[in-house]
Amino acid sequence: MKTPLIIEQHFHGAYGVNFNTASSEEVVHLALKLREMGIGGFFPTLVTDSIENIKQQVTRIKEAASKSSAILGIHLEGIFLNEEKCGIHNAEHFLDLTVDNYREIEDDFIKIVTLAPELDRGLIDYLKEKGVKIQVGHCVGFDKRVDGVTHTFNAMKGISHRGSSTALSALIEDKVYAEVICDGVHVSDDALKLFFKSKPEDKIILISDALPITYSDKRDDVFADSLIHYDGEKATSSDGTIAGSTKLLPEIIKILGKKGMFNPTFVENVYKYHNIEPRGELEWNDDFDIVNISE
């Protein structure tokens, strides 16, 4: 099996590098490590933080991008979310979904914004005009103007046989791309089967949502202002909230492949979503190990 190089469009770091605190040199170094794994591009994802720190990290990541073509843009997951579905995010930093608030941190290198559409006060139309990808997440509502759904099933209003919900809309809106975490922790196999049966295969985007603790020697780390503990299977806060994944996409694809659920189209979809020409080539063996990486 062959695919293009993998694109990570939603993860918060790895090998101890945290995009909310990392220097530009650390981000560049991480890009080199990821390339050795078959990851040819990524969107550093910023979790909810203060305006000052988000602006600082945007500057640092942009500087890193000037030195590495693997850094494709920033995914802003935080600050415009719904406290009801905040997950690991620190709701003290949340802002109203207004254009004025977005302009506090606005930068042309922010390519994806995750937000709660039910709280919108003009921000969605503004982002549409700017060509920013809008994804619903950490929310209870939905809006047909958006481009995608952030980590489907997680931190959103779930499926019910009565009424509408974010997760239900993610499955039935065929024009909308939908992220999904297939690490064996965040979404059950039955829910994955439903997801893959419901979504057109060309609208599925695999993500890791990996934490900085991923592939590090740490078992405890601070993320999103919370102490995170990794027990060898999952990473959670002190109250048991699952924080994010501890695997990157090559390993997740292996897990998915062994379940008979992987389709090479899933790797190609993220290129189409962002209108990026496919990069390089990965050759996979029957056990879903990468055996060759080429430009």
Average pLDDT score over residue span 61-71: 98
Q: For residue 295, is pLDDT > 90?
A: no
Residue 71 — pLDDT band, cuts 50, 70, 90? very high
Q: In this structure, how many other beta carbons lie within 10 angstroms of the beta carbon of residue 12?
A: 27
Q: Is the dihedral of CA 205, 211, 217, 219 positive or negative?
A: negative
Q: 191-202, pLDDT tens digit by residue?
A: 999 999 999 999
CATH number, domain with residue 176: 3.20.20.140
Please report, rounded to a whole number, the percentage of residues in the chain having pLDDT higher than 90: 99
Structural domain span for residue 21: 2-294
Q: For residue 22, is pLDDT > 90?
A: yes
pLDDT at residue 132 in the model? 98
In this structure, the strands spanning 242-244 and 220-223 are unpaired
What is d(CA 140, CA 264) in angstroms, rounded to the nearest whole number?
A: 31
pLDDT at residue 48 in the model? 97
Average pLDDT score over residue span 277-281: 97
pLDDT at residue 172 in the model? 98
Number of domains in the chain: 1
| 212: β partners | none
Q: 229-267, pLDDT tens digit by residue?
A: 999 999 999 999 999 999 999 999 999 999 999 999 999
Average pLDDT score over residue span 19-24: 98
Q: What is the rounded average pLDDT for all residues in the chain? A: 97
Average pLDDT score over residue span 205-221: 97
User: Over the Cα atoms of the chain, what is R_g?
Assistant: 18
Burial track 77-101 (b if 16+ CB lie within 10 A, e otherwise): bbbbbbeebbbbbbeebbbebbeeb
Q: 130-178, pLDDT tens digit by residue?
A: 999 999 999 999 999 999 999 999 999 999 899 999 999 999 999 999 9
Residue 106 — pLDDT band, cuts 50, 70, 90? very high
Q: In this structure, how many other beta carbons lie within 10 angstroms of the beta carbon of residue 167?
A: 22
